């Protein structure tokens, strides 16, 4: 049952469909469909449409706001929180978004953070009814149970219990819990602080990431985030080192929430090492601190692993967990080693191809997909997948056509393959032929993604010069996956924004640097500074802000009117109530070559500054 589920979730073609579809879909149409679904309370369909629209236009705040609302209605509070957090990073005065942020924080048992936001709202709008209601609920509620950012892993429920059969773990459970007692929720009382402005940046002559980490060796959050980053890179040894340091810092401060945040990531590291015995013992130490739901989720993983007999089944389980957590490098390493020992395992090969694609290891994915096709020469799907690879990840139209034509010979009635061939006609300059075929195929298609591709290509074809073969769009670039050889460096920004949205600062930094985008590097440092400030690490917050300002200054030295760099600089000053400096940065940004999304945010910030001036601040 588990193997079928993993195969269905991670089958390679789904990922390619989604990426290609996202590159060409009309954003307004997606938003409209999402609105229709939202009105009839079909929140799942609404979230799907808004999600795709956000991927196409991550800076569209209206779409992101509705996506956050839909996720909240689906009880996906962690993801909903990420959307409203992203909105507030660029529009800090959006009161409605801040209220939704608080709603999510409360659902995530992060009441102390919600309370700080609510108090700020009531200072700005003393009569805000919902803010007063939420604050009243918090002040009358119990203490927190779950660490921030933790959401239970979706694993199959099983009936075997640790207490019944794991003898060594039973011993640990019955032993006195002296080590963890001082971290129990009963002994933890969040320190209440008066609201303070974010700290001023410490001057820095560099924005180098390695130097920043070295300057913050004693920071809990930096060690935690570097541990998270190491898991995302697949470096388990570095992850364990950073997490062990973060754990010592959490213990020294007797902070239960921080301690648990470390333990969640440590648990994943143990799972990835396939050391399920150590994972079980670790789980029992944490049991008194976990909510029932959290404990049950981890317990299910342990019980599933214990039921598996072969090493390859354990790898499938572990890799599935890693891929579900977005740790594709870990999954790639596990699956590659397992496939070497089991070269004929097609399920392992498909999982490996998906992990390699998501990890941007396109060369490795090409080898894997080619091997799958060779081993399944009568399987049209294998050759269709390989054809799509040569269109999106490695632009080789001749290879894409060869694979697509062979797939069609095996499955001539599959309209997706015909669409692929029509797209290749268009790509190779036979625009009229390609458009004609797409129009013919449109009624046969059931997949809305493919219909969207056809519609967009047909519309683009109207503006193309079919006699000369020139195209209004760079087809290869539009179809390129982020990080592909034929994709622009700016494509890395899409990946970086996703990481930043999910709070993975160092991975976001890595891809912004690959995109050569210092404005976004500066933004990431400033976001990390805000997180450090909320965490109570003022010294590190000042250092991070200094590194962020240095990145913005270097960008502005190259392009004084960079709209995004000026926006992030203005937000830095605005949050610290340095309104004159903020206004200068806003005006400089508006005088430059400003895109629509950044222009809206700059204008909104300027309006806020004007209101602040009218109020006498």
pLDDT above 90 for 544 = yes
Distance CA 223, CA 535 (A): 13
Give the pLDDT band of residue 143 (cuts 50, 70, 90).
very low
Distance CA 342, CA 221 (A): 41
Considering the chain, what is the average pLDDT of its residues?
A: 81
Give the Å distances, CA to CA, from 350 to 20, 341, 543: 19, 15, 44
DSSP string for 259-289: HHHHHHHHHHHHHHTT-HHHHHHHHHHHGGG
Q: Which of 165-169, 170-174, 184-188, 598-602 has the highest mean pLDDT?
A: 598-602
Using DSSP, state whether 470 is helix, strand or coil.
strand
Q: Which two tokens stand for residue 577?
A: 């109530």
Give the pLDDT band of residue 194 (cuts 50, 70, 90).
low
Give the Å distances, CA to CA, from 299 to 142, 157, 289: 26, 9, 14
Q: Which two tokens stand for residue 604?
A: 């909104």
Instruction: Give pLDDT, residue 425.
Output: 87
Instruction: Give pLDDT, residue 360.
Output: 95
Q: Which of 5-14, 61-70, 188-197 has the highest mean pLDDT?
A: 61-70
Looking at residue 19, the DSSP 8-state letter turns out to be H
Nearest to 531 by CA among 234, 260, 211, 219: 219
Nearest to 300 by CA among 163, 162, 172, 170: 162
Instruction: Kindly state the average pLDDT of the residues 231-237.
Output: 96
Instruction: Kindly state the average pLDDT of the residues 582-602.
Output: 91
376-433 per-position pLDDT tens digit: 999 999 999 999 999 889 999 999 999 999 999 999 988 889 888 988 888 888 878 8
Using DSSP, state whether 465 is helix, strand or coil.
strand
Strand ranges for 197-310 from DSSP E? none
Give 329's Cβ-side CA count (13 Å radius).
Answer: 11
Distance CA 299, CA 161 (A): 8
Using DSSP, state whether 615 is helix, strand or coil.
coil
Nearest to 6 by CA among 320, 274, 298, 309: 320
Distance CA 583, CA 573 (A): 9
Give the pLDDT band of residue 189 (cuts 50, 70, 90).
very low
Q: What are phi and psi of 148, to 5 degrees?
A: -65, 145
Look up tokens 């015995």; give the residue: 277
Distance CA 512, CA 492 (A): 7
Q: Which of 18-27, 52-61, 187-196, 244-253 has the highest mean pLDDT?
A: 244-253
Nearest to 584 by CA among 599, 595, 574, 593: 574
Look up tokens 């801040």; give the residue: 98
State the alpha helices, DSSP H only, in 462-537. 475-479, 492-501, 505-514, 518-534
Task: Note whether 153 and 297 are within 8 A (CB).
Answer: yes
Instruction: Give pLDDT, residue 176.
Output: 29
Distance CA 67, CA 35 (A): 10
SS3 for 134-163 is HHHHHHCCCCCCCCCCCCCCCCCCCCCCHH
Q: Is the pTM of this model over 0.85?
A: no
Neighbours of 610 (CB within 10 A): 12
Nearest to 89 by CA among 112, 129, 61, 68: 61
Identify the H or E element spanning 348: helix 346-358
Distance CA 90, CA 568 (A): 8
Nearest to 422 by CA among 434, 439, 407: 434
Task: Note whether 15 and 354 are within 8 A (CB).
Answer: yes
pLDDT above 80 for 187 = no
Give the Å distances, CA to CA, from 435 to 307, 438, 456, 473: 54, 5, 10, 14
Instruction: Give pLDDT, residue 565.
Output: 96
Question: In angstroms, how far is CA 329 from the centroid of its own chain?
Answer: 15
Angle between helices 12-24 and 346-358 (to 10 degrees): 30
Task: Note whether 30 and 52 are within 8 A (CB).
Answer: yes
Task: Note whether 156 and 300 are within 8 A (CB).
Answer: yes
280-325 per-position pLDDT tens digit: 999 998 888 887 877 888 888 899 888 888 999 999 999 999 998 8
């Amino acid at each position: 049952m588990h193997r079928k589920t993993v195969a269905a979730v991670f089958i390679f073609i789904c990922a390619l469909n989604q990426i290609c579809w996202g590159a060409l879909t009309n954003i307004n149409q997606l938003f409209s469909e999402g609105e229709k679904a939202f009105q009839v309370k079909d929140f799942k369909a609404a979230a799907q449409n808004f999600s795709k629209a956000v991927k196409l236009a991550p800076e569209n705040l209206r779409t992101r706001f509705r996506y956050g609302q839909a996720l909240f209605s689906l009880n996906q509070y962690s993801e909903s929180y990420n959307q409203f957090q992203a909105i507030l990073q660029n529009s800090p005065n959006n009161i409605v978004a801040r209220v939704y942020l608080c709603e999510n924080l409360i659902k995530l048992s992060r009441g102390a953070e919600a309370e700080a936001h609510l108090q700020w709202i009531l200072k700005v709008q003393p009569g805000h009814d919902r803010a007063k209601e939420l604050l009243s609920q918090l002040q009358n509620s119990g203490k927190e149970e779950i660490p921030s950012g933790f959401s239970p892993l979706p694993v199959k429920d099983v009936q075997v219990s640790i207490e019944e059969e794991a003898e060594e773990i039973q011993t640990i459970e019955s032993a006195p819990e002296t080590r963890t007692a001082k971290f129990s929720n009963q002994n933890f009382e969040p320190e209440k602080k008066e609201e303070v402005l974010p700290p001023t940046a410490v001057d820095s002559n560099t924005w180098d990431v390695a130097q920043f980490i070295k300057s913050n060796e004693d920071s809990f959050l930096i060690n935690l985030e570097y541990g998270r980053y190491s898991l995302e890179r697949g470096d388990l040894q570095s992850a364990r080192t950073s997490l062990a340091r973060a754990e010592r810092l959490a213990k020294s401060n007797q902070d239960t929430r921080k301690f648990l945040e470390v333990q969640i990531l440590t648990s994943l590291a143990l799972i990835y090492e396939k050391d399920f015995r150590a994972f079980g013992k670790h789980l029992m130490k944490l049991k008194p601190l976990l909510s029932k739901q959290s404990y049950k989720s981890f317990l299910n993983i342990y019980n599933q692993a214990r039921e598996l007999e072969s090493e390859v089944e354990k790898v499938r389980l572990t890799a599935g967990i890693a891929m579900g957590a977005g740790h594709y490098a870990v999954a790639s390493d596990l699956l590659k080693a397992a496939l070497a020992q089991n070269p004929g395992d097609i399920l392992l090969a498909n999982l490996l191809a998906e992990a390699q694609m998501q990890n941007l290891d396109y060369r490795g994915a090409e080898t894997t997909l080619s091997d799958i096709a060779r081993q399944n020469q009568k399987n049209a799907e294998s050759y269709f997948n390989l054809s799509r690879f040569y269109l999106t990840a490695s632009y080789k139209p001749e290879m894409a056509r060869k694979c697509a034509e062979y797939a069609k010979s095996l499955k001539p009635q599959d309209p997706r393959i015909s669409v692929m061939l029509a797209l290749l006609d268009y790509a190779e300059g036979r625009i009229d032929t390609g458009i004609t075929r797409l129009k013919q195929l449109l009624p046969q298609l059931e997949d809305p993604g493919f219909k969207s591709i056809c519609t967009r290509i047909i519309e683009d074809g109207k503006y193309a010069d079919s006699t000369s073969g020139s195209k209004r769009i760079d087809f290869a670039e539009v179809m390129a996956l982020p990080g592909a050889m034929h994709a622009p460096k700016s494509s890395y920004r899409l990946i970086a924004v996703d990481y930043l949205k999910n709070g993975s600062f160092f991975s976001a930094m890595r891809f912004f640097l690959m995109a050569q985008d210092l404005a976004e590097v500066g933004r990431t440092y400033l976001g990390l500074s805000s997180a450090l400030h909320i965490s109570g690490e003022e010294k590190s917050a000042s250092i991070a802000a200094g590194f962020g300002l240095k990145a913005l200054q270097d960008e502005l030295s190259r392009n004084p009117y960079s709209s995004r760099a000026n926006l992030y600089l203005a937000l830095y000053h605005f949050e610290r109530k340095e309104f004159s400096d903020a206004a200068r940065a806003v005006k400089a940004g508006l005088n430059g070559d400003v895109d629509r999304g950044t222009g809206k945010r700059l204008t909104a910030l300027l309006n806020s500054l004007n209101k602040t001036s009218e109020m006498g601040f």
